[in-house]
């Protein structure tokens, strides 16, 4: 295991992660920020298994993401890619790996209710859980990020790839926006990161 990855997670979780990874043959790589994902798991052409995690994540999001990807690795070892990536098998392994971490020595007590709720039925990304995503945001070093739920109807914004949209209205769970150039309508989750223009 690449021990340098341990500097990115809460100190109190280091021995747990060391135990989980000590006998695994997996490459762990910390990458620069990627706008479309926090981390990923892949099997390389050589057969080597690799996990990458973004370096800009706060320690709690980094740990949650790392466990997410380790769960993919463990599912791959058992099923060799014959099941859905975020199916019931992955959910069970993810829960199993996360449960020992759900204590105030590792995560702030304010995060624990949101994290407990999330792991009951974890999704492909923590960003799809609005409450957890918002709670994790409090621990980010970059406080200048804006989210779509923070702006008003008629506001123009751009997303990570430079495309410009106008917020039209809030629907029940998502935000209806029109792309300025094409006029096409898109729906955004409330915690979509945006930049006002």
Q: Could you read off the pLDDT of 8-38 as tens digits, one per residue?
A: 999 999 999 999 888 778 889 999 988 788 9
Structure tokens at 185: 């309508």
Maximum average pLDDT range among 22-36, 40-54, 117-131: 40-54
Cβ-contact 130, 136 below 8 angstroms: no
The domain segmentation of the chain, as residue ranges, is 3-137, 146-196
Round to whole Å and give the CA distance between 19 and 14. Answer: 9
- Asked: is 146-196 a CATH 2.40.128 domain? The reply is no
Which of 66, 64, 65, 84 is CA-nearest to residue 75? 84
The SS3 of residue 71 is: helix
Residue the block writes with tokens 């892949």:
42
Angle separating helix axes 130-137 and 112-120, nearest 10 degrees: 150
Percent of the chain beyond pLDDT 90?
66
- Maximum mean pLDDT: which of 33-37, 122-126, 172-176: 172-176
Query: Would you state the pLDDT for residue 1?
Result: 53
**SS3 call for 127:** helix
């Amino acid at each position: 295991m690449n021990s340098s990855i341990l500097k990115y997670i809460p100190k109190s979780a280091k021995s747990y992660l060391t135990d989980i990874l000590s006998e695994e043959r997996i490459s762990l790589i910390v990458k620069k920020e990627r706008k479309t994902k926090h981390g990923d798991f892949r099997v390389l052409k050589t057969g080597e298994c690799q996990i990458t995690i973004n370096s800009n994540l706060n320690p709690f999001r980094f740990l949650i993401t790392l466990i997410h990807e380790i769960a993919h690795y463990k599912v791959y070892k058992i099923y060799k890619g014959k099941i859905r990536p975020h199916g019931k098998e992955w959910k069970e392994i993810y829960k199993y790996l996360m449960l020992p971490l759900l204590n105030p020595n590792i995560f702030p007590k304010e995060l624990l209710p949101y994290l407990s709720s999330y792991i009951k039925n974890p999704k492909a990304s923590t960003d799809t859980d609005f409450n957890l995503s918002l709670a994790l945001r409090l621990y980010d070093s970059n406080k200048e990020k804006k989210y779509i739920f923070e702006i008003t109807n008629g506001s123009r914004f751009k997303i990570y790839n430079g495309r410009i949209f106008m917020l039209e209205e809030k629907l029940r769970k998502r935000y209806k926006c029109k792309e300025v150039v094409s006029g096409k309508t898109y729906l955004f989750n409330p915690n979509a990161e945006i930049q006002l223009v």
